[in-house]
Structure 1
Amino acid sequence: MATWLITGSSTGLGRALAEAVLARGDNAVVTARNTGSVGDLVTTYPGSALALELDVTDPGAVAEVVAQGESRFGGVDVLVNNAGYGYRAAVEEGDDEDVRRLFATNFFGPVALIKAVLPGMRQRRSGTIVNISSIGAKVCPPGSGYYAASKAALEGVSGSLRQELAPLGINVIAVEPGGFRTDFAGRSLTQSATVIDDYADTAGKRRKEHDTAHGNQPGDPVKAAQALITAAESDRPPALLMLGTDAVTAATAVLDGQLAEIDQWRELSVSTDLTD
C-alpha cells in the first residue's frame, strides 16, 4: 500500500488518478481549492482518502497539507504535481500579473510541494515525484508561449532533480500529456484581455473563442491514470513519459526537426571552438 499526494484532484486527470489509486487500495491525499469537489472520495474510501483544501501558491498551505498527509498515513510515497491551468496570449499580449500568477501555480507551487515532501522521502530513501507538464513545452504553439515556458521550467527542474535524487532511491518523472478529454481547454483555460490584431493568424487562432479542441480531445483520462500508476511503480521509471498518440507524434516531429537543424548548422556551431 502506497500513499499518494495528488494536487488538482477535483477534475480531469487528477480526479481519474485519485479514483484509480483509491480503488486499488492505496492511500491518497486528494487536494483541491474546494474540498467539496472531492468529498465523495472520502465518503467512498473513508479509511484511505484524505481530502484537503490547497492553493498551491500558498507556501503555508503546502506545508500544512504535507504535514497532515504524513501524520495521517506515515509519509508520502508518490507526489503528483497535477494542479495547473492554461493561458493563451501572444507574448506581446501577455499581462505581467497574469504571467506571474501562471508561474506561481504551474512552477513555483510544484517546487514548494517537492521541497515539502523531500525530507521524508530522503529519510526513507524511497519515493517518486511525478510532475505533470505538457506536450506544449516541446511544441511551443503560437499563443501558448507563457504556458509552454511554465511547463518547460518544470521539466528543467525535473531533469536536474532526477539526477540529484537517484542516488537516494527517489525517482522523478516528467509527464507530457497531449490532448485529453478533460476541462483543461474549458474552465481551466484563461487568456489575456489584450488582443492585438496583427496576431490574428497566429496566436489569435488559438484564443478560446476560436478554439474547437474542447470536448474533442483524443485522450482518455482513465487510461492516462493507469499509465501513470504503471510508470510510477516501474523499477526503472522514465525520465519523460508521453501520454497520447498526439503527444508521441508531435514530440517525434519536433525532435526530428531539431536534429536535422543541428546537423544543418553543425559546421558553424563547431567553428566557435578555441583552436591552438
Structure 2
Amino acid sequence: MNKHLTLGRMAIYSGLLFFCVVYLMPLFVMVITSFKTLPDIKSGNLMSLPQEWVGYAWHKAWSGACTGVSCDGIKGYFWNSFQMVIPAVAISTLLGAFNGYVISKWRFRGSQLFFSLLLFGCFIPFQVILLPMAALLGKLGLANTTAGLVTVHVIYGLAFTTLFFRNFYVGVPDELVKAAKLDGAGFFTIFFRILLPLSTPIFMVTVIWQFTAIWNDFLFGVVYSGAETQPITVALNNLVNTSTGVKEYNVDMAAAIIAALPTLLVYVLAGKYFVRGLTAGSVKG
C-alpha cells in the first residue's frame, strides 16, 4: 500500500513539475532573449542560451528605447504607473474597508440592495463604462491626468474591495461589536479600534488584487491618459509596435520584464498572505 502511495505521489509531483516548467517557459525565453545580441537572436535557437551575455538591451529599454515619437525609454512611464497605482490602491482599499464594515455590521434599510448593486458592478465589462467615465472626467477637469486615472481605478475597483471586506467582516462575531457599543464605543471607534486591527489578512488580499489589476491595466490607461501621464502598459505597447528601424526583440523582452517586475515582486513577497487572507474569514471558530 505504501508503494502505491509513493508511486501516486511521484506521479502527482511529476505532473506538477511538468506543468510548472511549461508555465515558466515563456518567462525563461524572455529572460535569455533579453541578454542576447541581435545576431544571436536571428541565428540561434529560441531556447538556446546566449552565446554572449550582454545587458545593453536592459539599459536601452529603460532609458533609450523609442515609444512612439519619444526615445527616452520606459522609465518615465514606469514612475507614472507608481504615481497612479499607490493612491488608487490606498483609496479603494480604505473605502472598501469602510463600505464592508457598514454593510456587514451597521445594516440599514436597503443595505442588501446596495450590496447587490455593488456585486453587480464586479461583472460590468470595462468597455461599458468608457464613454460615461470619459464624460465624467471631462466635467471634473481630470481628463488626461494622473488624478483622472486614479479616479477611474478607484471607482471601478470599489465593488471588488467592498466585496472582499464585507465577506471578511461577516465572519467577525456580531457580539464583539455589540459589546463595544455597550461600552460606549461609537461608529468610528469600533471601526478604527476593533475591526481594522483584525483586518490585516484581508488588507493584504485587497492590496495585492488591486495593485496587480491596476498596474496591468491597459484599456483605461490608453483611453484616459495623456502623453505625459501614460502608464507602463501603454508605453510597452507603443515600444513593441514601433515599426521604424530594426526590430530589437531583446529590448522588447527586457522592457516587458521591467514592466512585470513590480507585480512579480508583490506575489513573491506577499503571495502566501493572499491565500491566508482569502481563507481567514471563511470559517468561524
Scaled to the shorter chain, the TM-score interval is under 0.3
Task: Give TM-score, length-normalised by structure 2.
Answer: 0.24
Pick the structure with more helix per residue: 2
Task: Give TM-score, length-normalised by structure 1.
Answer: 0.25
Pick the structure with more strand per residue: 1
Higher gyration radius (CA): 2
